[in-house]
């Protein structure tokens, strides 16, 4: 599992920032209705961000993260994964996400991500869009870079580059020749689920494929370190947030 249900992004709100938020129901290409949350910047700077959650799907952490992006000028949409199995209603901490994430498919998430990108490009079909995801969403974010969505960049926090999940997925490390945009990876150096050799193998594969990328491992940081409760990793989280912003600016 990634973040606790009551976790907060390691990015403090900007006092006085004016944004507009709304719960949405999007429709994927296969007709599935999925829950989403949009945060609109008061003065958008151009690019937009699609947020891909961890195994819990859409919950408050990702709504808050979308708001942090809007506060710095990036319209942002966070999507859910479970429209096919759980509908679009809001969910509490008791939601049995494990049984639903096990029913996810590669094609389903691809369709849901495409719906999120289309939402962000509704008023401008040429808008630059970036994806960002965490854990399950981290590798999902990287996968969208190879799914023909015309992204400007894909950011993954502690995504697994060599896992065949969800159903129908090819490990990301085997898809590097399909990637169409720059990649940013932000990894926990003490994450036992993603050993450094896995990260190094991904780095080597991206380099061999000629993909512009940066993979950063934070020494001693655990999986899910980007959480305000992890005060001992506040410096690492602040650095990661700066890298996210710099990556978007550099590729916009």
Query: What residue has token string 């509490």?
Result: 92
178 in Cβ contact with 209 (< 8 Å)? no
pTM for this entry? 0.97
Note if the bond before 166 is cis, omega within 30 degrees: yes
Q: Which residues lie across from 79 on neighbouring strands?
A: 36
Q: List, in order, residues 6 or more apart from 45 with CB less than 8 Å away.
A: 73, 74
Q: Kindly indicate the confidence band of residue 16, based on its pLDDT and cuts at 50, 70 and 90.
A: confident
**pLDDT digits over 126-184, tens only?**
999 999 999 999 999 999 999 999 999 999 999 999 999 999 999 999 999 999 999 99
Write the DSSP assignment of 115-145 as a string of letters. Answer: HHHHHHTSS-TT--EEEEEETHHHHHHHHHT
Query: What residue has token string 């506060």?
Result: 71
For 102, which DSSP code?
T
- CATH fold of 29-250 reads Rossmann fold (3.40.50)
The CA distance from 145 to 147, in Å, is: 6
């Amino acid at each position: 599992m990634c973040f606790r249900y009551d976790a907060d992004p390691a990015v403090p709100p900007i006092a006085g920032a004016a944004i507009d938020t709304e719960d949405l129901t999007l429709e994927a290409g296969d007709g599935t209705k999925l829950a989403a949350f949009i945060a609109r910047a008061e003065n958008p700077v151009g690019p937009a961000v699609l947020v891909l959650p961890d195994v819990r799907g859409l919950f408050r952490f990702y709504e808050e993260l979308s708001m942090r992006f809007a506060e710095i000028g990036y319209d942002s949409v966070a999507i859910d994964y479970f429209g096919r199995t759980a509908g679009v209603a809001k969910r509490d901490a008791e939601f049995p996400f494990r049984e639903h994430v096990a029913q996810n498919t590669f094609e389903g998430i691809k369709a849901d991500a495409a719906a999120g990108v289309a939402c962000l490009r509704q008023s401008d079909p040429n808008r630059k869009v970036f994806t960002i995801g965490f854990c399950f969403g981290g590798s999902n974010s990287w996968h969208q870079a190879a799914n023909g969505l015309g992204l400007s960049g894909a950011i993954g926090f502690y995504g697994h580059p060599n896992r065949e999940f969800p159903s129908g997925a090819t490990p990301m490390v085997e898809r590097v020749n399909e990637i169409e945009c720059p990649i940013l990876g932000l990894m926990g150096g003490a994450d036992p689920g993603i050993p450094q050799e896995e990260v190094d193998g991904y780095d080597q594969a991206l380099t061999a494929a000629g993909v512009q990328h940066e993979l950063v491992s934070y020494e001693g940081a655990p999986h899910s370190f980007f959480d305000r409760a992890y005060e001992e990793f506040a410096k690492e989280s602040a650095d990661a947030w700066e890298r996210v912003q710099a990556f978007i600016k550099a590729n916009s």
